[in-house]
Structure 1
């Protein structure tokens, strides 16, 4: 069956939405499928009719790394500075930037919620996974930040964690921000980075940020809290991604595993939301929470039913979203 350019364009949109955590703006992105993405697996999906989106989702991990990067970079380049956002730089690399949204009305210094995007440590952008979060949380009196970080393989995971810490340090210095009330929220690989920064004090210390400033951590469907355990899973569909990010060195894998750093000190309050149907995410979440509780921290695991990896993040901040309600209750307790 001949595949039309229109069909390829539709697949481009679907692939972009997958890679970009289903950002609403991705649905408006145009362009043809990059040459790096013209694989037999993806071309088969183009003829799958109503099952096209599910087919692309299943084929996502088989796409070449160059494809994922190409589509992600195209999508990021099309994303303009959101209305009401201020872009700030915390380094000289183009990726060392963070978007800051301030609450519409504030009678004093606002607490800060900083979002760390996902993308397998190698793709993604600060504007691809925020969806409704900026408007929702600024409407509740929070300052909201969404940060970029340098990407693998041009940078290491250690440098990514340092970038997240540097973004926190920069935002804490901004007028109107309560420097001692910071909550980290991360999705997927961003959940791993948020957890690493909030357990291993090395990164915040280097950035001049006291660990006590991190009042809470919200993790959205991460599965990389114990790197070695995750990489040893049979039929791991993301094995190549983990290998590229963490190598085969057991000592380095342990050093980059938040569970390995869960002995005190840590951020004090944790909410971990795995997708209920993802056994690896639930298992890793429960193990991290158990280690954090053993060290005297408060850590709740709330597996989310009726969600998938993308929708948990994409729907955060939507009216009536049950996962948002769980996060709201956690933030009120802080």
Structure 2
């Protein structure tokens, strides 16, 4: 992409997104020829406990499976907004499960982790091969993914352990954020009495699954040095295989948006995620 064309495209996208919801724009520009979608599958009794499944087209035999959790400070978000993530991974031959979960003020910590564990259990019960199962998230969704991968309490409630994951992937995740500064997040974690065991960094052990951590150098919401860098350092010290990447030209929000077809030029997020899965996926 030439610098002149890139500049023109960026200006056009900025103008378009200023007039419309950015996520709706991304999804409107997302192709539908690379996947089939099974929407609104209930994995629990609450209206928020639903998930969508994206399967590659053409169909892939025994494909790897990613359970994805979106961000939103644990108080907002919808699986329907992340069709571009489903398309991105399905276009690489990966089955994607995008799950809603209960949010504040309906619930507080740790109910959304229990929902995540239940969504993972549903995925396993419906045929996901543990040798090909990954959990992934962005922002607060990356927190959810990390806690399922690192803190065995939540999967234990559904009869599983973190060993069910071949690996886990975090994009711009908050893994070490006490004391809480974000006013929207404080009530979610009972500030000022936020429990120390709510922090992913406190659950690192040698038993953790291989990890892929990706952050933006220009993230002004979740400090990448403390969170991604600190967790990567702790994982390496425990002997856990970990890859960490930091990208420019992105911020906290556009890091995940870079997975969408229109914005893949921003950073090779999809390439890193795909390479991580392909490298660890067993060969039949």
Per the normalisation by structure 1, the TM-score is 0.69
Q: Using a 3 Å threshold, how does the CA distance of structure 1 residues 277 and 107 change in structure 2: closer, same or farther?
A: closer
2:274 is aligned to 328
* Cα RMSD, aligned residues only: 2.5
Task: Give the distance between the partners of 1:88 and 1:101, measured in 2 at CA.
Answer: 12
Larger helix fraction of residues: 1
1:111 is aligned to 64
1:297 counterpart = 2:240 = yes
Question: Contact 1:181–1:213 at 8 Å: present in 2 too?
Answer: no
2:189 is aligned to 246
* Displacement of 1:282: 2.8
Question: Contact 2:89–2:274 at 8 Å: present in 1 too?
Answer: no
Gaps of 5+ in 1: 1-12, 29-81
Cα distance per residue 1:270-293 (max 9 Å; x no partner): 111111123712321111111112
1:113-132, aligned counterparts within 5 Å? 113-128=66-81, 130-132=82-84
Question: Contact 1:90–1:97 at 8 Å: present in 2 too?
Answer: yes
1:228 is aligned to 178
Gaps of 5+ in 2: 1-16, 29-34
Question: Contact 2:36–2:56 at 8 Å: present in 1 too?
Answer: no
* Displacement of 1:186: 0.6
1:285 is aligned to 228
1:32-181, aligned counterparts within 5 Å? 84-106=37-59, 108-128=61-81, 130-175=82-127, 177-181=128-132
Q: Using a 3 Å threshold, how does the CA distance of structure 1 residues 172 and 228 change in structure 2: closer, same or farther?
A: same
1:9 is aligned to none
2:51 is paired with a residue whose SS is strand
Per the normalisation by structure 2, the TM-score is 0.81
2:246 is paired with a residue whose SS is coil
2:216 is paired with a residue whose SS is coil
Q: Using a 3 Å threshold, how does the CA distance of structure 1 residues 16 and 245 change in structure 2: closer, same or farther?
A: farther
4+ runs deviating over 6 angstroms: none
* Displacement of 1:115: 1.1
Task: Give the distance between the partners of 2:37 and 2:156, measured in 1 at CA.
Answer: 31
Q: Using a 3 Å threshold, how does the CA distance of structure 1 residues 14 and 168 change in structure 2: closer, same or farther?
A: farther
Larger Rg: 1
Task: Give the distance between the partners of 1:26 and 1:152, measured in 2 at CA.
Answer: 26
1:24 is aligned to 24
Q: Using a 3 Å threshold, how does the CA distance of structure 1 residues 186 and 16 change in structure 2: closer, same or farther?
A: farther
2:7 is aligned to none
Task: Give the distance between the partners of 2:92 and 2:272, measured in 1 at CA.
Answer: 15
Q: Aligned pairs, how many?
A: 254
* Displacement of 1:15: 9.6
Cα distance per residue 1:92-141 (max 9 Å; x no partner): 1100111111222345322111110110000111122x242222322322
